[in-house]
Amino acid sequence: MWRRRKCRNCGFSYTTQERLVLDEVLLIRDSHEDHPYSQGGLIAGIIKALEAVGAPSDQAYWLAQTVEERLLRAQQQSKQWQPVTTQRLNLITYDTLSAYHPVAAAAYAAAHKLETKQSKLFKRKRRSI
């Protein structure tokens, strides 16, 4: 939510943005156990993937914001607030990273043992050799 505000002392107008803090409301389900979502954990995972391939990590916060927006959209479409699986969170993060830096996305997928289209294709090619 955007709000237009005005300083009472000098009259300067500025815009503020309010966002839902997912750390307080979102649960992540990992092996049948729920635990609170952590934006810091998500950012750390993104930074690790970017740094693993020598990419600058200065956009990690904004990439995490994009992941969170996608999580919120998914929750709104389901019309019921429910825990998100670790696998789903990792796939959304992977997809977001893929659009920004495909090599970092591959590093993220490897670190989180994700089955991606590319890894499935690679496995099929290896079997046929």
Give mean pLDDT, residues 65-90: 87
Higher pLDDT pick, 21 / 43: 43
Q: In this model, does residue 125 exceed pLDDT 90?
A: no
Domain boundaries in the chain? 25-118
Give mean pLDDT, residues 58-83: 88
pLDDT given for residue 28 in this prediction: 84
pLDDT given for residue 119 in this prediction: 52
Give mean pLDDT, residues 107-129: 68
Going by C-alpha positions, the residue among 99, 85, 81, 91 that lies closest to residue 30 is: 85
Q: In this model, does residue 118 exceed pLDDT 70?
A: no
CA-to-CA distance for 55 and 77, rounded, in angstroms?
Answer: 34
